[in-house]
Amino acid sequence: MASRDAAAGIRAMKPAYIQKMPLELLSDIFKLSIAEPRHAIRLDGVSVGLRRPAPWSLGHVCRSWRATALGYPALWNTLLVKLTTDAVAVEEQLLRAGARDADAPLYICFDLRSLPDVPQSALDLIIPTSKRWVAFNCATAS
């Protein structure tokens, strides 16, 4: 009974103003949310920002935000791939980011500080996007 009351209360709520906002404006706000990376890796004079979490986080707010984030290629042009032993998560990240826009430029940084080398499966996914690379950097432990 309590869950029905809670569900009815949620349905009765008025939509937030941000949900009434035009998608173009929401996309611009999303882009601004990743404009200045919170963390940066400096490699060969190029600062590669840790921008990857923002698009993923924005997509977890609601269905509308997810659709907006997934449909806005500019959110996905900088890709920091922190390689871990979780190959499935890395592959999903590479597939989603690499497939956003076939012509969009990509800035890619592999963070290999926790692994000795790049798994072949990650290379197999990222190499086909090489014609779009503006910068490719690799951070290593040594």
In a domain, 7, yes or no: no
In a domain, 106, yes or no: yes
Rounded distance, CA 63 to CA 73, Å? 17
Give me the pLDDT at residue 100, please: 59
Quote the number of domains for the chain: 1
Rounded distance, CA 68 to CA 89, Å? 22
Cβ–Cβ under 8 Å, residues 87 and 51: no
In a domain, 85, yes or no: yes
What the block records as the tokens of 34 is 């990743």
Domain of 105, in residue numbers: 22-139
Task: Please give the DSSP secondary-structure letter assigned to residue 102.
Answer: T
Give me the pLDDT at residue 89, please: 63
| Helix pair 63-70, 23-33: axis angle to 10 deg | 70
One digit per residue, pLDDT tens: the chain, 142 residues?
A: 667 777 677 666 666 777 778 888 888 888 777 655 444 544 444 444 444 456 777 888 888 888 888 888 777 777 766 666 555 666 666 666 656 566 777 777 777 777 666 667 777 777 887 888 888 877 777 6
In a domain, 44, yes or no: yes
Residues 6+ apart with CB under 8 A from 135: 46, 48, 107, 108, 109
What the block records as the tokens of 54 is 């923002």
In a domain, 13, yes or no: no
pTM above 0.75, yes or no: no
In a domain, 17, yes or no: no
Give me the pLDDT at residue 49, please: 45
In a domain, 47, yes or no: yes
In a domain, 41, yes or no: yes
